[in-house]
Structure 1
Amino acid sequence: MIEAMRALVPALLLSLSGPLSAQEAVPAPAAGAVQQAAPQPQPVVAPAPAPLPWTAATARETLAEVQAASKEGLNPADYAPAALEAALASGDEAAIAVAAEASWMALAKDYAAGRTPIEARIGWKSPPPRSDVEWLRAKLADGLAAGTAGETLRGLLPAHPHYRVLRAALPAATAPADSARIRANMDRWRWMPRQMGERHLFANVPGYTVDLVDGGVPVARHKIIVGARKTPTPQFSAVATAITINPPWLLPKSIVDESVGALIRRSPSAARARGYRWTATADGLQVMQMPGNRNSLGTLKIEMPNPYAIFFHDTPAKHLFNGQDLALSHGCMRTQGILGLALRLLEEVPEWDAARIDATAATNVTTGIDLPQQVPVHVGYFTVVPAKGGTVQVLPDVYGRDAAVIEALSRR
């Protein structure tokens, strides 16, 4: 048994570090040269990591943390508690070190970046927080040196207040379905950046809201219209850099193909009256909607460069905010009261007050205002959120994404 335990850590480290890189290609021999048999590639063996100073006490502390993983919505059995218990019972110091490190590292990886595999994180485009083997093992070494192996593990968990509320609500969830959804949303928080920014924007797609958070406290909340089910808003992080007044709209090809292209071909004059201007290219029509009272972006846009062309913007169809189902857009986030949000972001630029923005908007001239400080933006997908009195609220699973996470967390 001890020999098997000693194999745990190298195998674990190899599995966490990913596939080994291919060997360099052997150059082709020169013309006329006598060819020799190509050397056989030698297997690459990962060096065994240097042993760390485990003791029975720190191993028991790790075992206690594993057994408490259920409080974080995880299954303790996934972190080899039986192997660690057997090693402790044997009294063999080497076996204890191997088993304890294997359990610690496996739990640390899930605490740091979530247990759900990447393929089950549908629509989640942000890279997971850092959880590579070298970084985690350095954390472990520091924890063992300081005698804080358990505290170091817990320090990898999200410190966000929403996570703490979900964690407190988990024991009170008596229905299996409720418990499963809380656990899924706790894991989603483990996918989020640990440092979201002293001042940041946090949009929650199922909640149809965006919060401006300052010093850890939400100071403004705005209702948003998010992507429809066939054009969902992705989850990612970006940085807000500027406010654009009277933004022109470069239409995505999907919208041109779906509707606007047909309007242009059927009635060019009607298309021009709606502000569309177009150019024929090899890939089809390239269409721009010019600023004006019919522009789909309205009068304001918050610039946040990202690969998905997603941003917050105004809308002329403000009556849509009165509905219950706000999954209506092509992916961008139409924002109710966006002028108020823009003024919050421009607090350090007092010359741009509401009157000046309104006057500029009336000109239909596109005008950009750089933010004095860039503001991180995080777009998440959370179907269980804090409510008043420390309780939680269950939101509609707009895009049907809970099932994949719940299933992944139930797998062994």
Structure 2
Amino acid sequence: MRSSVGKWMVSAAAVSVACTAWAQEAQPESLLPEDDTIEAQADPESFDEAFPKMVSDPLVQGNLDAEPAPLVVPWSVANAEALLQVIEGIGAEGLNPSDYDGQALSTAIASGPSSELDEIASKNFVWLVEDLRDGRTPMDARKQWFVVDPDRDRFRTSDLLAKAVESGDIAGTLEQLHPTHPDYGHLKEALAETPESDTRTRKLIRANMDRWRWLARDLGKQYLITNVPEYQLRLTVNDKIISTYRTIVGKPGRTATPQLAEKVEGVVFNPTWTVPQSIVKGEGLGAKVLNNPAWARRAGYKATKGANGWISVVQQPGPGNSLGQMKLEMPNRHAIFFHDTPSRHLFNNDDRALSHGCIRTERALELAITMAILGKGASKEEAVEIATSGEYTLVPIEREMPAYITYFTMATDINGELSTFKDIYDRDAPVLASLDAPRVNNRAQETDEEVIVIENDPRAIGAD
């Protein structure tokens, strides 16, 4: 195991530079990719500034303890005309202007201030807020989407409405809802450059723009994000990629990887693997371990048998452990997490939808040590010592580290190019269909889709 850690320290130059910067509390501009095309960020002056604790800092945030403002407010003709201008240009954001009653609003404007104008303008402003903040796609078209978007509470509709009419800055208030991730901007540019006649491409762009609105507007200062169809994981700081890792994701069907937004709470070095009962009992592993102790020792299995005959089997840490040398603690009801694998040759496959739902990561030990350092759970020296000990060790993450498991079929790839990816789980069709369907009012905010808790079986892809 020591040799593999040594290899990591030699090959992961970017992480080595990062570790030195953290240790010396140097300015960590060297953490970012060496790419002359990337505009440099302002140099942080400390570790805390470079990697701060996550703090929600929306541009508009209502007092959640206060009574919500009314959803129908008085509109001046000037404000209503500004709203009509937003509606007429909303196609640039991938939304459909016809969803927002522009003709009715125009007629009401011509009649001057009235209760009818107040109702029509307020309704259309509210609909724009909902679609720009939450996404236009109804929840039943978001297959295996289990992310709870916090923006509905951070940017309350009533507060935005009141602020917009008071300030007169209708467009500016709505612009604050756009996703801040650079990918959204790249898709918007692609939409502007795609001819109206290319309806297929335009719909795909619009669908993936909307997927960004399903997430929090601001993903945070530092986070992990994986795009399942791309088979890539990114470690990101200030929306700049520090490192990328190939991934192996869930097979199509019931073992498809769901879309989640969770938090990494710790790094487990030299993990154990509790074998699912579908293998212990269903495949006879429990009896084999008990009846063949020499084989069990070689394979790293330990079995216990209760008084009621129940057999549990745990694979101990070691080079053959099915979880490899690390896993990231990411508690969630789906039992999905990132981990290593001894079957590393599979990362060379083009099609890597092979697992039972969890995400296996290339160069996992590098990721684990980096996460331990980023999370201030261990220094570089401590992390390497823990990794080489061969003993199960949980290193807590003290700094909040979000992890996003997303599904984009058009996005910026790890080389910075806008690319399309195979729709491996057939999740595009319902989203694309929803773009052609009438806008759904009073949409659900959370999915009622079945949570499929998959018994994690790393051996399903041929692990030793």
TM-score bucket (shorter structure): 0.7 to 0.9
User: 1:89: how far off?
Assistant: 2.2
User: 1:57: how far off?
Assistant: 0.9
2:58 aligns with: none
Which shifted more, 133-142 or 214-223?
133-142
Moved over 6 A (4+): 280-284
1:195 pairs, out of 218, 222, 228, with 218
Contact 1:56 1:93 (8 Å CA) reproduced = no
Look up the SS of the partner of 1:307 in the other structure.
Answer: coil
Residue 385 of structure 2 is aligned to residue 356 of structure 1: yes
Contact 2:410 2:418 (8 Å CA) reproduced = yes
Report Cα offsets for 1:143-191 as digits up to 9, x if no partner.
2111112211121121211111001101233432221111111111000
Question: Structure 1 residues 48, 306: CA separation in 2 closer, same or farther (over 3 Å shift)?
Answer: closer
Distance of 2:71 and 2:353 partners within structure 1? 53
Distance of 1:389 and 1:319 partners within structure 2? 23
TM-score (norm 1): 0.80
Question: Structure 1 residues 249, 388: CA separation in 2 closer, same or farther (over 3 Å shift)?
Answer: closer
Residue 327 of structure 2 is aligned to residue 301 of structure 1: yes
Residue 90 of structure 2 is aligned to residue 55 of structure 1: no
Contact 1:249 1:297 (8 Å CA) reproduced = yes
2:427 aligns with: 401
* Code of the aligned partner of 2:385: R
Distance of 1:277 and 1:184 partners within structure 2? 49
* Code of the aligned partner of 1:356: E
* Code of the aligned partner of 1:238: E
* Code of the aligned partner of 2:100: Y
User: 1:246: how far off?
Assistant: 1.2
1:90 aligns with: 111
1:327 pairs, out of 353, 370, 387, with 353
1:233 aligns with: 257
Distance of 1:71 and 1:289 partners within structure 2? 54
Distance of 1:373 and 1:48 partners within structure 2? 36
Look up the SS of the partner of 2:229 in the other structure.
Answer: coil
Question: Structure 1 residues 51, 308: CA separation in 2 closer, same or farther (over 3 Å shift)?
Answer: closer
Question: Structure 1 residues 154, 253: CA separation in 2 closer, same or farther (over 3 Å shift)?
Answer: farther
Question: Structure 1 residues 390, 279: CA separation in 2 closer, same or farther (over 3 Å shift)?
Answer: closer
1:249 aligns with: 273
User: 1:134: how far off?
Assistant: 9.5
Look up the SS of the partner of 1:156 in the other structure.
Answer: coil
2:88 pairs, out of 58, 67, 71, with 67
Residue 224 of structure 2 is aligned to residue 218 of structure 1: no
Distance of 2:172 and 2:88 partners within structure 1? 14
* Code of the aligned partner of 1:59: A
Distance of 1:256 and 1:57 partners within structure 2? 71
User: 1:116: how far off?
Assistant: 0.8
Question: Structure 1 residues 137, 177: CA separation in 2 closer, same or farther (over 3 Å shift)?
Answer: same
Distance of 1:354 and 1:368 partners within structure 2? 11
Which shifted more, 172-181 or 302-311?
172-181
Residue 371 of structure 2 is aligned to residue 345 of structure 1: yes
Structure 1 vs Structure 2 CA RMSD: 2.7
2:44 aligns with: none
Which of 1 and 2 has greater Rg?
1
TM-score (norm 2): 0.72
Q: Show structure 2 runs of 5+ residues with no match.
A: 1-67, 439-464
Distance of 1:327 and 1:283 partners within structure 2? 36
User: 1:372: how far off?
Assistant: 3.5
Identity %: 38
Number of paired residues? 361
